[in-house]
Structure 1
Amino acid sequence: MVGNLLSQTLRLIMNDMVQTICLILTKSINRQQRFQREAAAAALSEFVRYSGGFDSLLEQMVEALCRHVSDESPTVRGLCLRGLVQIPSIHIHQYATQVLSVILALLDDLDESVQLTAVSCLLTILKSSSKDAVEPILLNLSVRLRNLQVSMNVKMRRNAFAAFGALSNFGVGSQREAFLEQIHAMLPRLILHIYDDDLSVRQACRNTLKQVAPFMEIGVYGIFNSHCFNSDHRSDYETFVRDLTRQFVQHFPSRIDSYMGSTIQAFEAPWPIIQANAIYFSSSILCLCDDQHILSLFYTQVFGLLVVKLSQSADAIVRATCSSSLGWLLKSINSHSWRSTRLERVESFRWGYESESTKK
């Protein structure tokens, strides 16, 4: 009994101390000196997790943190955001909309460290957010994440791809068609970065591709469970790209021109491996597509770019991919020409036969 009484007394003392400290920190974050605000934000962001039993205190702390996510100091902005995602789980639903709006704003922050914090916090908050909180800003989040997927920062790329996959849990109902458009806009980049230089980015892209696959409603599950999809060998990646391209050509013919446009842009990506991936993916589309409109739009352009890349690129993987792709394109265009000529002959024969039949 004495032990229980002592435990209760200590708990009351600790609770009172926590309240006092949190109140002091909430006021200190308003100090004029930058280093004072940074110190207060660092401490306050940690104490938020202990405020679950004090509703009014938590409200004050959240208000203070939200107010300072626009602080001139990137350190304060990042720390305040970290604090907001530390809100106890029993209260997070109450503040989810507010926290998500802060994250959305900071995904556009001019400081890369703040952007990275925002992406990391988005991954955290999405695990405990409701559809009602995410749905109003779903498309805005999608667009901002797409912009961050080409960051030179490996952690940023990985988290931006992973967060897009997490958003797929909310792209349902009235948002389904709009979110599907975001998927198609991002799909070429996702395919290119499945063979990123960084292994963690590769895995994030694989996971995200599996998460968005149900929206596309085509038979790709076998491809995503294949050895080639999960392999880190270049030849397996190329096999995966060919298999997936066949599905795209068959099921998404109206999307091919936008896929090609996005992929050609990646010819100038800052990573040689992504340039090589873009070269192979675009060549696969042209070789496997029978659409004369697509071929007339892109064949000459891609062929010319590959010739330039082959002669000017300093990277062996780019030159090697250009060489093999040029051979593939030449072979395929001869095949396309042969099939086109054969079809013209068949049509000519059919019309001639029908004309003779009419005369009789």
Structure 2
Amino acid sequence: MEALILRSQSPDLVKFMEQQNVWNKLATEEDFLEGVNHLAKGITDHKGDYMARLVSCLTPTLSNLYDPQRVVVAGFLAEVQKYCTTVLSAMMAGMDDKEDPEDDITLESMSGLSKILKEIAESNVRPILVNIALRIRPCFEKEKGAVRAAAFQLFGNLSRFGDGPSKEPFLEQIHTNFVSILLHLNDEDEEVKKSCKFALRQFGPLLSSSAMNKMFQQYLIDDKDISYGEFMYDLSKIIITDIQSKVNFYVMGNVSFFRSSWVMIRGNAAMFAGFLLGNLPKDHHTLISKDHVCGALIQLLKDPAPEVRQKAAEAISLLYEY
């Protein structure tokens, strides 16, 4: 263990271990658990980016047959819980690394966060839950498919904390990111599609619509294709019925994707906006910023991609009552 820490290239961690006399404590039975606690604190404070892998590796030991191993791991994880805000903050910092042009550090940070979020208590995440969601959002539109997939997976894992005291702020984050997740449900990358299905299944129960949740659980199966157009058409009707107050917000969210760099996403956005507008009852048309939306759809008729122009034309054809 000492050799491993020395190879970590972290002088601060090595210094901490020496100051706390950790190696001697780990060598004696009566001081062993205290040494484990110091070890956990040292790694948390000085090598927080290691923590996700450690937690992932150690957690299965909690169901081990050997009591001493379970006790040691439980002690280590309990100490980690005390400092988990520090750990999460350190891992979130990796998502903003300016010297990461290939997004490798971002990908590793999000994968690590997904692992560690499965193990920690809601009370430890609550103070930074919204901050995590805000950090994830730009990654939904990253060029690398693996990063987009990890981002949607991580957002889905945040749903574990969305049904307690954090429900209201997390629901706002769901609504803010709902359009993006639904558009990438028809992404060019298969892993992104799976991650979007996972996220929708996870936060479906948090939405105030049993019909929508039933739809997500029934049709969004990882290895099963969906008829995306039919799915979105039916979903738009449920949205209008069950969460009508958000319709204009979602429509404007779609308009923001009319300038996406992906042809498929621009087409998806035009289609979704058209379904929401076309299915909205006439007496609720005043809810919509229709001049802005219609103008944006008309601009899409000039899109360089023929499939986007087709989707825009189809969306406009649904607006005959406007």
TM-score grouping bracket, smaller chain normalisation = 0.7 to 0.9
The separation in 2 between residues aligned to 1:229 and 1:124, in whole angstroms, is 22
- Match of 1:121, SS state, is helix
- Match of 1:277, SS state, is helix
Q: 1:324 aligns with which of 311, 314, 317?
A: 314
Residues 1:85 and 2:85 are matched in the alignment: no
Offset at 1:307? 2.6
Native 8 Å contact 1:138 1:171 kept in 2: no
Pairing of 1:95-174 with structure 2 (within 5 A)? 95-96=80-81, 97=84, 98-110=86-98, 111=100, 112-174=103-165
- Opposite residue 29 of structure 1, the aligned amino acid is S
Change over 3 Å in CA distance of 1:188–1:117 after alignment to 2: same
- Opposite residue 292 of structure 1, the aligned amino acid is H
Q: 1:220 aligns with which of 212, 221, 228?
A: 212
Match of 2:235 in 1: 244
Pairing of 1:55-66 with structure 2 (within 5 A)? 56=35, 59-60=38-39, 63=42, 66=45
Offset at 1:180? 0.9
Look at both structures and tell me which one has the larger radius of gyration over its CA atoms. Answer: 1
The separation in 1 between residues aligned to 2:232 and 2:125, in whole angstroms, is 33
The separation in 1 between residues aligned to 2:257 and 2:122, in whole angstroms, is 34
Offset at 1:205? 0.6
Offset at 1:217? 2.3
Change over 3 Å in CA distance of 1:245–1:229 after alignment to 2: farther
Native 8 Å contact 2:52 2:116 kept in 1: no
Offset at 1:200? 0.8
Offset at 1:166? 0.7
Match of 2:64 in 1: none
Change over 3 Å in CA distance of 1:127–1:65 after alignment to 2: closer
Match of 1:254 in 2: 245
Native 8 Å contact 1:229 1:237 kept in 2: no
Change over 3 Å in CA distance of 1:125–1:314 after alignment to 2: same
The separation in 1 between residues aligned to 2:136 and 2:248, in whole angstroms, is 23
Tell me which protein shows more helix as a share of its residues: 1
Return 5+ residue gaps in structure 2 as ranges: 13-25, 27-31, 60-72
Native 8 Å contact 1:193 1:201 kept in 2: yes
Native 8 Å contact 2:113 2:154 kept in 1: yes
The separation in 1 between residues aligned to 2:213 and 2:36, in whole angstroms, is 49
Native 8 Å contact 1:62 1:84 kept in 2: no
Offset at 1:124? 1.0
Native 8 Å contact 1:196 1:202 kept in 2: yes
Change over 3 Å in CA distance of 1:224–1:188 after alignment to 2: same
Structure 1, residues 317-359: CA drift from partner, whole Å, max 9, x if none?
21221222222223x43xxxxxxxxxxxxxxxxxxxxxxxxxx
Change over 3 Å in CA distance of 1:293–1:227 after alignment to 2: same
The separation in 2 between residues aligned to 1:93 and 1:307, in whole angstroms, is 58
Q: CA RMSD in A?
A: 2.7
The separation in 2 between residues aligned to 1:225 and 1:176, in whole angstroms, is 20
- Opposite residue 95 of structure 2, the aligned amino acid is L
- Opposite residue 90 of structure 2, the aligned amino acid is V
The separation in 1 between residues aligned to 2:113 and 2:263, in whole angstroms, is 30
> Could you state the TM-score of these two structures normalised by the residue count of structure 2?
0.77
- Opposite residue 63 of structure 1, the aligned amino acid is G
Change over 3 Å in CA distance of 1:171–1:93 after alignment to 2: farther
- Opposite residue 314 of structure 1, the aligned amino acid is P
Return 5+ residue gaps in structure 1 as ranges: 1-17, 32-50, 69-79, 334-360
Change over 3 Å in CA distance of 1:177–1:304 after alignment to 2: same
The separation in 2 between residues aligned to 1:227 and 1:214, in whole angstroms, is 15
Native 8 Å contact 2:88 2:113 kept in 1: yes
The separation in 2 between residues aligned to 1:57 and 1:123, in whole angstroms, is 24
Higher RCO (CA-CA < 8 Å; seq separation 6+): 2
Native 8 Å contact 2:300 2:309 kept in 1: yes
Offset at 1:197? 0.8
Q: 1:67 aligns with which of 35, 42, 46?
A: 46
The separation in 1 between residues aligned to 2:120 and 2:44, in whole angstroms, is 19
Offset at 1:198? 0.6
Q: 1:267 aligns with which of 255, 258, 262?
A: 258
Residues 1:24 and 2:3 are matched in the alignment: no
Match of 2:19 in 1: none
- Match of 1:248, SS state, is helix
Offset at 1:132? 2.4
Change over 3 Å in CA distance of 1:326–1:221 after alignment to 2: same
Q: 1:293 aligns with which of 269, 286, 305?
A: 286
The separation in 2 between residues aligned to 1:103 and 1:243, in whole angstroms, is 39
- Opposite residue 110 of structure 2, the aligned amino acid is V
Identity among equivalent positions (%) equals 25
